[in-house]
Amino acid sequence: MNLLRKFTTIIVISVSIAGCSKSDNIISLMYEDSLLKAAKEAISANDSAIMPKYTDFINYVDSVTLKMEPLSVVKDKKRVAPSKDPRDYITLSPYWWPDPTIEGGVPYIRRDGERNPEVYEYLERVNSTIFAESVQLLAVAYYLTDNEKYADKCAEMLRVWFLDSITGMNPNMTYSQTVPGMVEIRGTGIIDARRIAGALNGAKMIENSQYWTQEDRLKLKDWANSFRYWLENSVNGLKEAQAPNNHGLWYEVTHQAVVMYGGDFDYLRKIIVEEQLPRIDSQMQPDGSFPHELARTLGLHYSTFAMEALNLTDIMAEKIGLNIWSYKADNGNSMLSALEYLKPYWKDPQSWPHMQISPFNSERGSLLLYRAGKRINNDEYIKLAKSIGYNPDINEKENSNTIPRINSLLYYKLNIK
């Protein structure tokens, strides 16, 4: 028995060492950890290139985020899912309207581009956006300052959104972007789940805080694993994984974050290589364009949006030693060919030959160019990025996945000529 005990002890120790070394190196799931470190150093060195941005950032977190009421899917709920469970996340698909020719109006019919004001009766979309943003703001503030008050608030918000037995969101998005009366099950609502991924990113960053206990961590890990099961096995998830456009790419980004949060690094590698990379092969044309995105009324936005998904895949991939920016498919497709395709339009959005019915913010391109330049050691991209500049509108909410307040800190060097 003693021998057996010693033996199992050795196994347990070696397993935990292997496990720890892998995840302990990681500060966040979805940020470049080197940029987080650099920002922290620059702030402690009182570097004038970052201090004004940092002061804005921390003032905002102190005056707004820290004082916020925690959000949840049940908060002020007006519309409950068909399950009658207020803990089910539900939002409305924005361009669908009651059918005037039918009594009751269902099933709804599509009027593309016209937003149904009923959307605003489903609060989860905007609340999940604010929630994910707040969690990450607090988590970054905690990382940069080591001040526990940020972790405390962050932990509270995470518990209310995910873990509380009355307010905690059920780990699925069955009713995301729902269409009243529609019989077919769609996967499109999973695009909203990138906010969930963002929240997990924040949760990862406060893991060393006393306010985020071992129990909290295990519970959220269980939540993430359960959500992962739903993503991988539900009709909604299976459909979204097959989406031939940016939805497929974003599905995988969320999937990656959830898997990574659960600590399954081998599987993370597997889905990046076996699921996401083939989308580079299949979603692009030889000229580097994304034809499904070109067909949209916001073609430049959606093309950039697709690249933002792949870039996030790369940020996560980098943490396990993969480089997606240098991947080249057998058919010649690559992120770089897409970058080359989009580069001139990021420089000059007016020259975009396809549809783009709203203004496009070139700074998103700048960020992608900068990161590509760093990842493949191409100074020309970095130069171009700097010439476009990166001074994001910190109030921008729609059509971007980034949180400008955080990115303006992480990418502060973009503005150093």
Partner 1 sequence: MKSICNILYVIVTLLFTASNLEAKGTITYNDQRLLELKRAFLRNDEKVVAHINAIIESSEHYFSEKPLNIVSDKRRFAPSRDPRDYISLSRYWWPDPDTKDGLPYIRHDGESNPELEEYDYRKITRLESTVTNLGMLYYITGNERYAARASQILNEWFLDPVTGMNPNMVYAQYVPGMTYLRGTGILDARSIVYALNGAMLIEGSKFWSNTQKEALTGWVKAFLYWMHNSTQGGLERNASNNHGLWYDIIRMGLLYYIDDYPQVKKVTETSLCNRLDLQQESDGSFPHELARTLGLSYTAFALDAFYEANEIALKVGIDLWSITTPKGRSIAKGIEFAYPFFLEPHKWVYQQISPFETDRGAMILYIAGLKLNKREYIEAAKKIGYTPKPSFKSILYLDINN
Task: Report in angstroms how near the CB of residue 244 gets to partner 1 at its nearest.
Answer: 18
Q: For the chain, what's the residue count?
A: 417
Among 230, 305, 327, 352, binds partner 1 (CB under 8 A): 230
- Whether residue 317 contacts residue 272, with contact meaning beta carbons closer than 8 Å, is answered with yes
Among the listed ranges 54-62, 79-87, 354-362, 396-404, the one in contact with partner 1 (CB under 8 A) is 79-87
Task: Report in angstroms how near the CB of residue 82 gets to partner 1 at its nearest.
Answer: 4
In the complex with partner 1, which residue's Cβ is closer, 170 or 361? 170
In the complex with partner 1, which residue's Cβ is closer, 187 or 299? 187
Give the span between the Cα atoms of 121 and 7, in whole angstroms: 59
In the complex with partner 1, which residue's Cβ is closer, 168 or 365? 168
Among the listed ranges 92-100, 121-129, 233-241, 318-326, the one in contact with partner 1 (CB under 8 A) is 233-241
Size of residue set near partner 1 by CB under 8 A: 30
Confirm or reject binding of residue 9 to partner 1 (CB under 8 A): yes
Confirm or reject binding of residue 8 to partner 1 (CB under 8 A): yes
Among 97, 229, 265, 267, binds partner 1 (CB under 8 A): 229
Among the listed ranges 58-66, 198-206, 218-226, 409-417, the one in contact with partner 1 (CB under 8 A) is 218-226
**Site map 146..165 versus partner 1, x via CB under 8 A:** -------------------x
Neighbours of 207 (CB within 10 A): 16
- Whether residue 199 contacts residue 131, with contact meaning beta carbons closer than 8 Å, is answered with yes
In the complex with partner 1, which residue's Cβ is closer, 12 or 64? 12
Neighbours of 270 (CB within 10 A): 12
What sign has the CA pseudo-torsion 273, 403, 136, 130? negative
Confirm or reject binding of residue 180 to partner 1 (CB under 8 A): no
The residues facing 178 across adjacent strands are 92
In the complex with partner 1, which residue's Cβ is closer, 17 or 49? 17
In the complex with partner 1, which residue's Cβ is closer, 238 or 295? 238
Among the listed ranges 168-176, 199-207, 257-265, 280-288, the one in contact with partner 1 (CB under 8 A) is 168-176
Confirm or reject binding of residue 84 to partner 1 (CB under 8 A): yes
Task: Report in angstroms how near the CB of residue 70 gets to partner 1 at its nearest.
Answer: 18
Confirm or reject binding of residue 188 to partner 1 (CB under 8 A): no
Among 82, 113, 278, 389, binds partner 1 (CB under 8 A): 82
DSSP run (H or E) holding 176:
strand 175-178
What sign has the CA pseudo-torsion 175, 176, 180, 186? negative
Give the span between the Cα atoms of 151 and 157, in whole angstroms: 10
Our CA angle for 370, 376, 381, nearest 5°, is 35
Task: Report in angstroms how near the CB of residue 53 gets to partner 1 at its nearest.
Answer: 40
Among 108, 155, 171, 216, binds partner 1 (CB under 8 A): 171
3-state DSSP of 374-390: HHHCCHHHHHHHHHHCC
Our CA angle for 254, 349, 417, nearest 5°, is 85
Give the span between the Cα atoms of 395 and 411, in whole angstroms: 17
DSSP run (H or E) holding 319:
none
Among 65, 134, 136, 170, binds partner 1 (CB under 8 A): 170
User: Virtual CA dihedral for 27, 28, 30, 32, nearest 10 degrees?
Assistant: -30
DSSP state of 190: G
Give the span between the Cα atoms of 381 and 135, in whole angstroms: 32
- Whether residue 237 contacts residue 190, with contact meaning beta carbons closer than 8 Å, is answered with yes
In the complex with partner 1, which residue's Cβ is closer, 226 or 285? 226
Footprint on residues 86-105 left by partner 1 (CB under 8 A): 87
Among the listed ranges 89-97, 220-228, 380-388, 392-400, the one in contact with partner 1 (CB under 8 A) is 220-228
- Whether residue 288 contacts residue 344, with contact meaning beta carbons closer than 8 Å, is answered with no
Among 14, 83, 213, 282, binds partner 1 (CB under 8 A): 83
Q: Measured between alpha carbons, how far is residue 132 from residues 72, 129, 233, 399 in Å?
A: 11, 5, 25, 15
Task: Report in angstroms how near the CB of residue 140 gets to partner 1 at its nearest.
Answer: 29
Confirm or reject binding of residue 295 to partner 1 (CB under 8 A): no
- Whether residue 136 contacts residue 201, with contact meaning beta carbons closer than 8 Å, is answered with yes
Q: Using CB under 8 A as the criterion, which residues of the chain lie in contact with partner 1 when the complex forms?
A: 4-5, 8-9, 11-12, 82-85, 87, 165-166, 168, 170-171, 174-175, 183, 185, 222-223, 225-226, 229-230, 233-235, 238
